[in-house]
Structure formats: C-alpha cells, structure tokens
Structure 1
Amino acid sequence: MKHNIRFQEFKGDTQCLQLPFYTEGPVADAGGNLYVTNLQGGQILRIGKDGTVDEWARSSCPNGQMIAANGDHLICDSVEACVKRFDQHGRFRAAAIAGRVGHYNITCPNDLVSDGNGGFFFTDSVRHTGVVVHVDRSGSARLIAEQLDYPNGIVLDHKRRRLYIAESYQNRIVMINLQQHTGAADVFCNLPQHPSLQETANLPDGLALDSYGNLWVAHYGMSCIWKIDPGGSHQEKMDTDILLTSNVFLNNDRVLITGGQAEPGPGYVRIIQT
C-alpha cells in the first residue's frame, strides 16, 4: 500500500464532488467502490470507479463507517444511538450495539474501527463524559475509556497495540495502550489552535494511519489535514479547500477527504490520486 504520501503530491486531484449534504464516513470496498455517509441527508452513498454516485442505503443519521472482513458495513447512527450492520448489498441486518454498556447509556455513536478480530471499537460523542467502547466478535461490549470531551475519530495501529482517538473539544489526540490498559487515555499530541481561540474553530475529527505509522488528522474547524509522525511531534499541514473537513481515508494510492461548506450542506468529497 502506498501510504507514505507526501502532501505536495495532493496536487494530483482526480475528482472533487459537490453533494447536497455534508459528508462523513469514507471507506472503500475490495472492488474499488467508495462509500460516504451524509448525516442529515440520511444516506450512505456509493461512488463507482467511473465517478457515478448512487444511494446505497439509508439510515436516520449515518456517520462513521467501516467495512468488515465479510463485506458487511458497520455504520454509526448518531440519531438512533446505535451502530447498524448492513450486508454488502446495502440491506439492513441488525443493530450491532445499542442501549447500555455497563453503567453508560449509548447516546451518540460517531466513528468506529475494526479490532482485526471480528469486533470493533467505537466512540460515543458526548461533551465531557464521552466514552470509547469495544464490541468483540460475539457482541459482548465493554468500556475502554471514559470521561472524554467529545471523543470523535478513532484508528487502531497496525500491530493492534495502540488506539488513537480525537478528543475534539480538547483539540488533541489521545492514545490507549491496549497491552497495558489501565482505563485511562494518555495525551499523544496537542494540535495547533485556530487564531480565534474559539473551540469550534478547532475540533479534530476523523483519523487515519499510513503504513509508516504517521497519523493523519482531519481538523474540522481548521480546514486542513495534519500528518503527525509516530512520536507525536513533527506535524505537516495540508489545506483541503473544504471549510469543515470531517474525515480522511487512505486507500492504496487514493486519498478520500470528506466534509462540507456548512452543516447540513453543501458537502464535498475529494478523491485524490497520488
């Protein structure tokens, strides 16, 4: 996978789609089709290899999305307070998780990532008291981290040892060491602040990891992507030309960036061939 992508290579834009609604949840299937969600539009959209866009499935407010090993799509629905499972043809199968996990009532699932063993981790985006949940392959759920200030994007490193989470309202990335887990999340790095110092002008959102361990961060209010080295220190910035940049997804030699001019819209999807 060509994931050590230099920001100057982003000049190779192949497509920039404008859609009616703000977009999120970028993923790609084994056949090369791309998928995004559009939250208030209630749609999961499929973008074919020829650039055509069609409605693949519907949900009340679809947000983060992942594709499981069997081709199923798991999609966070922030209104229905659950993670839904759809088959590879876009047919709703069942809720993968809803209700309570221990003492916590699931409120606003936002983003999710495979655990590499048939289960997944997801964030529940609540101010000050948000959580990260692990659901194993049998459907058993447990809290991994609590008391986070709007946990948002989430990604697991390639060795399945470290879980990175965007803590949006603290403008930082936190990290959970899954091998030495104590129930607490450590600060991996703080992100640059918007000159206005307003909280909503920051808000790190979706995350991705390249094959060299660099963390890519969609900075919602800063209209950019940051690439951060594995030590959490060196940061490179790329302006996305999307005012509200929601997420980033790396797929072989393509980069997908989602977001929009405003919420509920219009939305954008940038598909960049590197």
Structure 2
Amino acid sequence: MTSVTMLTTDRHVLAEGPAWDTATATVSWIDIEAGRVFVGRLDSDDRVEVIRTLDFDERVGCAFRLGNAQFLVALERRLALVDALGNVTTSRELLPEGRRFNDGVIDPAGRLIVGGLSMTGDHSGNVLLRLEHDGAITTLDDDLGLSNGLGFSPDGATLYSIDSTANVVYARSYDYESGEAGARREFARIDDATPDGLAVDAEGGLWVALWGGSGIRHLDALGHPHGDIELDVPHVTSLAFVGSSLNRALVTTASRDLSPAEVERHPGAGMLFLVDLPVAGQPAHRWRPVALPQ
C-alpha cells in the first residue's frame, strides 16, 4: 500500500507548482490565489518547515528557484526576477487582459516554457510560450483551452503538456538544442476527472494530478493507465519528485470552490502531502538566465 502523509502547513486556496531544488535540498510551491511563493525544508519526521515566503499583489502562476535565493516567477501577465533581498524586476505584459499565466517548466536547455488560461470564461485561444536564450518569445501553441501540467521525457526529446478543458495530455517531439518543437498529438485522455499538473519519472512514466478526481493517475510511457493513488481531497493540483533519492512526491491540493461543509468533510483540502512512490523521478532543469522582455 502506498504511504500518504499530510504535512502540517497552513491551508492553501490553490496550492500549485511544487519543486525540489537539489543544490539546496529545499522544496518550493505557490498559492496562486494568495500570490505567494513558499520555500521550505523537509525534515526526517515528514514535516515541512517554511523558511521563506515571497508575496506579490497579484496571482502567481509558477516559480523556479535559481540558486543564491533568487527566483524566476510568472506573475499574472508578466515574468519577474526576484533577488535574494526580495527586489523584483519584471518583464512587459506578455498576455492580454483577462488571461493569466499558469503552469510552467524549464526545458533541458534552460529555457522557460509557460502556459496561460482565461479568467473570463472564454476558454479558447490560450497560449503556451517559450522564453528564448536571446529574450525573445516563441509561441508553441495559441489554441489551448487551459494550459496546465508540463514535463519532459527522460531523454528530453518529448514534451508533455496538458489542456485541462480538453481533458487531454499531449505529447510532441522536442529538440531542445535547436528549440524545434513538433506538432502535438494526443497521448492520453482523462474523462473521469480534470487533468491538472504532472510529473515525469526516470522511467518515462507520467503522474497526473486529478482536479475533481481525488488522486494521482499513473500513466506508462505509452500513455496507458496503471492505477490511481487516492487522496481524501477533491482537488489535487500538482506534484513533484522530492528528496535526496527523488522517490517521493510532494503533492499540492486546493480548497478553492469548496463549501465550508466540504472542507470540514475533507480536512486535507488545500494541504500538502508526501507520497512514497515505487519509482524515482528526474532532477529538475535550471533556468539559464536571460534579460526579461521589455
């Protein structure tokens, strides 16, 4: 039986974007609606100690630690660099009004890839963007409903992406040296819940967080399902492999859209969980710094 442990933290509205930084042995995650980035340490008693927070006056889509306590952050419509003292440098607005950034990933060459969603109910025309080494912006997709979980195969030759409104996990060929990305194809369809975030293990399997599905679904490298890990929360949002052996998952959840009675029935809603997995993950790629678009 898989071990699932709820961590002691404050309840989040929409926790997302968990990440493990090997160099500092720290974890980070965000609360999108609160506009907050958290940095913490896991201890031997399966607890997390929050050692730093970054607060913004707008929603946060994703955040990546760069070393030396610096972060690359996707705010609502801009990208931002945060230095060790908390000073913030931002890009120009990269999305139109009524849309915001959501999930992101760093590719094997150190480029940021980040997607967007609509906040107005018009779930069409959302984008998946890539920040190039020269600071230019490349549009990989411009026809998404809600861009969500992103990840790479172990060899870096396949990019996986989720469109939550289409209930589809996509795959495409990806040459990270040249930056050439192939056409996306349907890798797996999830119709009994909404796919949200994802993580790819060292064997090429995918682990998909299920919003409205109370768990994580394991897909093999061919897209075939191999069962769910259940959590007693309605909305599971994302996960990342963490720890020195990368064989545990830090799982984020949400309390958003739940009534007080539903939160009472599911006290883990909005909390973080640690899940022991039978396979190890991959180390995260680190962003190669460039000047933000102005």
- Specify if TM > 0.5: yes
- Give the deviation of 1:12 after TM superposition: 5.3
Question: TM-score, with normalisation over the residues of structure 2?
Answer: 0.76
Q: Is the 8 A contact 2:217 2:225 kept in 1?
A: no
Q: Spell out the pairing of 1:179-258 with structure 2 (5 A cutoff).
A: 179=175, 181-182=181-182, 184-191=183-190, 193-194=191-192, 202-251=193-242, 252-258=246-252
Between the two proteins, the alignment pairs up a number of residues equal to 251
Q: Relative to structure 1, is the Cα distance of residues 14 and 242 closer, same or farther in structure 2, using a 3 angstrom cutoff? A: closer
What is aligned with 1:199? none
What is aligned with 2:130? 134
Aligned partners of 2:253 and 2:238: how far apart in 1? 7
- Give the deviation of 1:65 after TM superposition: 2.4
Q: Is the 8 A contact 1:84 1:97 kept in 2?
A: no
Q: Spell out the pairing of 1:1-40 with structure 2 (5 A cutoff).
A: 8-9=1-2, 11=3, 13=5, 15-29=7-21, 30-40=23-33
Partner of residue 94 from structure 1, selected from 68, 77, 89: 89
Deviations 1:22-43 (A, max 9, x none): 3111112222222111122221
Q: Is the 8 A contact 1:86 1:94 kept in 2?
A: yes
AA at the equivalent of 2:111: G
* 1:123 and 2:120 are equivalent in the alignment: no
Aligned partners of 1:52 and 1:113: how far apart in 2? 25
- Give the deviation of 1:90 after TM superposition: 6.4
- Identical amino acids, percent of aligned pairs: 19
List, as ranges, runs of 4+ consecutive aligned residues in structure 1 with deviation greater than 4 Å: 263-266
Aligned partners of 1:83 and 1:226: how far apart in 2? 31
Q: Is the 8 A contact 1:22 1:267 kept in 2?
A: yes
Unaligned runs of 5+ in 1: 1-7, 195-201
Aligned partners of 2:61 and 2:85: how far apart in 1? 15
AA at the equivalent of 1:120: L
What is aligned with 1:197? none
Deviations 1:241-270 (A, max 9, x none): 221111111121321100123348862111
SS of the residue 2:162 aligns to: strand
AA at the equivalent of 2:94: G
Q: Spell out the pairing of 1:67-78 with structure 2 (5 A cutoff).
A: 67-68=65-66, 72-78=70-76
Aligned partners of 1:117 and 1:109: how far apart in 2? 21
Unaligned runs of 5+ in 2: 264-268, 278-294
Deviations 1:88-146 (A, max 9, x none): x362442356336xxx8893110111122231111112412111111122211111122
What is aligned with 1:4? none
